[in-house]
Amino acid sequence: MKAGVWFYGVGTVLTGILDIAWGAFDPSHQPIQALGKNVPGQHMLAYVAGIWLIAAGLAILWRRSARIGAVACGIIYLIFAALWLPRYYGGIHVLGWRLDVIIGISFGFAQQVMLAAPAAIIYASTTSPDSRLQKRAAVVARWMLGLPPVIFGLFHLTSIHLFARIVPHWMGFGIFWAGLTGVAFFLAGCAICSGVMDVPAARLLALMLLLFEGLVEIPPIFIRSHNQATWGAAVYNLVAIGACWIFAEFLVSRADAERIDPAENVTMSRADPMVA
């Protein structure tokens, strides 16, 4: 679990560093432009968001500040998710009621919702394993982490030629890999939402994202090193890997706690050691 928290926390810190380094929001994940082309004080807001992300990411790495860090992470990622909502109106107004448009916007929205899920888990993990808060967090996190991959999968399958273009040329068969990825996302999301093979699904999803990191996200950095979106995509993947890992290990820890004899549970009913 600690490894997942470190991926999540460090990725969040790096996201903040990118916002400060560019003095701007990453348009691929933080579309403040949806509020207007010239939002007053955009650069200042980017610095504030960057500092917030750095502080939240660091706080989540240590037990004493984990709850505060979790709340801060949840708030900022949900704000980024909310920035996608105006795009439904704008996209439909300009392009009409097209399925690919709706799914494409939902893709961006879901990316940020997925990152808010671990915040609920980490916050709840500071309570005893049998608390109501942990049970509620498990339900909330399941849907917040499970539905986004379903949307990712649908977007891959409905825009397969778009994703085929980002498959490394040396791999070939771009459409095949894009389609396979879409199916994998969809099945992983369904497994997580349904609770059937959810732990393996979350772990395999983390593994797939880790492969994406090495094969798809990192190489472009060496070509477009001055592009914030390129860096942002690689850093986003780190946070998403942590999110999947945290969820999987949270479910495992809860299952282990439920198997403990009630007499033993009295002495072991304390916060789950998810963070350092």
Domain extent at residue 203? 2-260
Q: In this structure, is residue 272 part of a structural domain?
A: no
Residues 6+ apart with CB under 8 A from 199: 248, 251, 252
Residues 6+ apart with CB under 8 A from 98: none
**Calpha distance 20→58 (Å, rounded):** 16
Angle between helices 2-22 and 228-259 (to 10 degrees): 160
pLDDT at 67 over 70: yes
pLDDT for 173-190, tens place per residue? 989 999 999 999 999 999
The distance in angstroms from the start CA to the end CA of the chain is 10
Confidence at residue 130, expressed as pLDDT on a 0 to 100 scale? 65
What is the helix, strand, coil percentage profile of the chain, to 5?
80, 0, 20
The neighbour count for residue 156, using CB atoms within 10 Å, is: 24
Burial (CB count <10 Å: 0-12, 13-18, 19+), residue 85: exposed
State the pTM of this model.
Answer: 0.87
pLDDT at 69 over 60: yes
pLDDT for 26-35, tens place per residue? 988 998 888 8
Confidence at residue 270, expressed as pLDDT on a 0 to 100 scale? 47
Give me the count of residues in the chain.
276
Q: In this structure, is residue 269 part of a structural domain?
A: no
Confidence at residue 268, expressed as pLDDT on a 0 to 100 scale? 43
pLDDT for 148-177, tens place per residue? 999 999 999 999 999 999 888 888 898 999
Q: In this structure, is residue 270 part of a structural domain?
A: no
Q: What is the mean pLDDT of the chain?
A: 87
Q: In this structure, is residue 72 part of a structural domain?
A: yes
Cα angle vertex 195, ends 192, 199, to 5°? Answer: 65
Q: In this structure, is residue 219 part of a structural domain?
A: yes
Query: How many structural domains compose the chain?
Result: 1
Residue 257 banded pLDDT, cuts 50, 70, 90:
low
Cα angle vertex 135, ends 129, 139, to 5°? Answer: 140
% of the chain at pLDDT higher than 70: 90
Q: In this structure, is residue 241 part of a structural domain?
A: yes
Q: Do the Cβ atoms of 31 and 25 come closer than 8 Å?
A: yes
Confidence at residue 276, expressed as pLDDT on a 0 to 100 scale? 59
Q: Do the Cβ atoms of 132 and 114 come closer than 8 Å?
A: no
Cα angle vertex 221, ends 216, 223, to 5°? Answer: 105
Q: In this structure, is residue 183 part of a structural domain?
A: yes
Confidence at residue 128, expressed as pLDDT on a 0 to 100 scale? 67
Q: In this structure, is residue 97 part of a structural domain?
A: yes
